[in-house]
Structure 1
Amino acid sequence: MSNVTNLNRFRKNKARAEKRAEADANAVKFGRTGAQKNIERARAEKERRDLDGHERAGEPEE
């Protein structure tokens, strides 16, 4: 006798596997490494500090 296969479960597992494969491909295609994220974060923080350093004290913001 053969095992009974739940077709709904099989179909859902197949769809999950396809989505996971597509997500992995997109991560490779569009993703950034941790080092790249850290560099970008550090640059943004430096730009913010530089801009804040040029503020004039006592003047209202526009």
Structure 2
Amino acid sequence: MKNINWNSILLASFVIIAFISVGFALGQEVFWLAGLFLFLGFAIMGFGISKKKKQNAH
């Protein structure tokens, strides 16, 4: 556990915050904001997955 990848932890935290924000926006009945946070969560997750694939390829 010596090599902690802080960038990946930060990226995963942003994804979790985005999906929690979807729930909050739905609770407030602001559906356009929920859609925005949902898109943002998937976009950040896709970026993280592509970054991990590039890292494992080398």
Greater relative CO (CA pairs within 8 A, separation 6+):
2
Where is the helix percentage greater, Structure 1 or Structure 2?
A: 2
Question: Who wins on radius of gyration, i.e. which is larger?
Answer: 1
TM-score band (shorter)?
A: 0.3 to 0.5
